[in-house]
Amino acid sequence: MISIKTNDEIECLRIAGEITGSTHNYLKPYIKPGITTKELDKLAEEYILSRGATPSFKGYDGFPATICASINNEVVHGIPSNRTLKEGDIISLDIGACYKGYHGDSAWTYPVGEIDDKKKYLLEHTEKSLFKGLDAIHDGCHVGDIGYAVEKYAREHNLGVVRELVGHGVGTDVHEEPDVPNYGARHTGPVLKEGMVIAVEPMLNLGTRKVYMLEDGWTIITADDKPSAHFEHTVLVTKDGYEILTRR
């Protein structure tokens, strides 16, 4: 059952989304060679708490930190640590904030200093694939329309689409129904209605789509060690399209 949010719920989701997007804005200037992912995590937690919200991921299934920080070949769910960012790295930050019980969820991949052309290509086209997916959304669309649009764009650009992890509904739980895969066929899957809230989050790889989990039980990495990028927005389904709740 996919919930349709009331106006009061949508107001809380807008605020949670705004705090999530603003946390990205707040962290961006700190993403430089020399900072550790643990330091970024601390900054994010302090900022979210200062906004009267709480980190959505800390404690979720036992996740130990506020943000997921995934570097280069790490796809998602990297645990913040004393690892230092280096010139030429890319880092995906996945951030969730909970306001009055409602969540925002947004990931973005950032360059650390100057990055090579292959990584630039990956970031540019993974971000564009997110908007291809979002542009398929409107009242009455199918979830499969979103995945079809993302996958088509990724294939045209020779990028591997991670299938093991998917987007999702968002509300009082950060992961609600439905699953929103980054692959699929048009006119298949659940129908989306005005007032539903979902996170769309393509994870694209420069090489193979295949991934596996490290022994820490969290970090997902690419099977060929090539870089991976992750772009995610939480959006409200509207009559004619969508409203981004986690705007920057």
The residues binding Mg ion (CB under 5 A) are 94, 105, 107, 199, 201, 232
Q: How far is the CB of 62 from Mg ion (least distance, A)?
A: 17
| Dihedral sign from CA coordinates of 162, 101, 104, 56 | negative
For the CB of residue 105, give the shortest distance to Mg ion in the complex, in Å. 4
Q: How far is the CB of 108 from Mg ion (least distance, A)?
A: 10
Complex with Mg ion: residue 176 or 232, whichever CB lies closer? 232
Could you tell me the smallest distance in angstroms from the CB atom of residue 116 to Mg ion?
A: 26
Q: Which is nearer to Mg ion, 65 or 107 (CB)?
A: 107
Which residue, 159 or 203, is less far from Mg ion as judged by CB? 203
Q: Shortest gap between Cβ of 201 and Mg ion (angstroms)?
A: 5
Closer residue to Mg ion, CB minimum distance, 13 or 224 = 13
Least distance in angstroms from the C-beta of 203 to Mg ion: 10
φ/ψ (deg, to 5) at 72: 55, -105
- Identify which of residues 74 and 201 has a Cβ nearer to Mg ion in the complex: 201
What lies within 8 Å, CB to CB, of 171 at 6+ separation is 3, 5, 9, 13, 102, 103, 197
Helix, strand, coil percentages, rounded to 5, for the chain: 30, 25, 45
Stated as kind and residue range, the H or E segment containing 50 is helix 37-50
Burial class from Cβ neighbours inside 10 Å (0-12, 13-18, 19+) for residue 207 reads middle
User: In 3-state terms, what secondary structure has residue 31?
Assistant: coil
Query: What is the rounded CA–CA span in Å between residue 175 and residue 89?
Result: 29
Question: Is the separation of the CB atoms in 22 and 28 below 8 Å?
Answer: no
Give whichever of 9 and 201 is closer to Mg ion, judged by the CB atom: 201
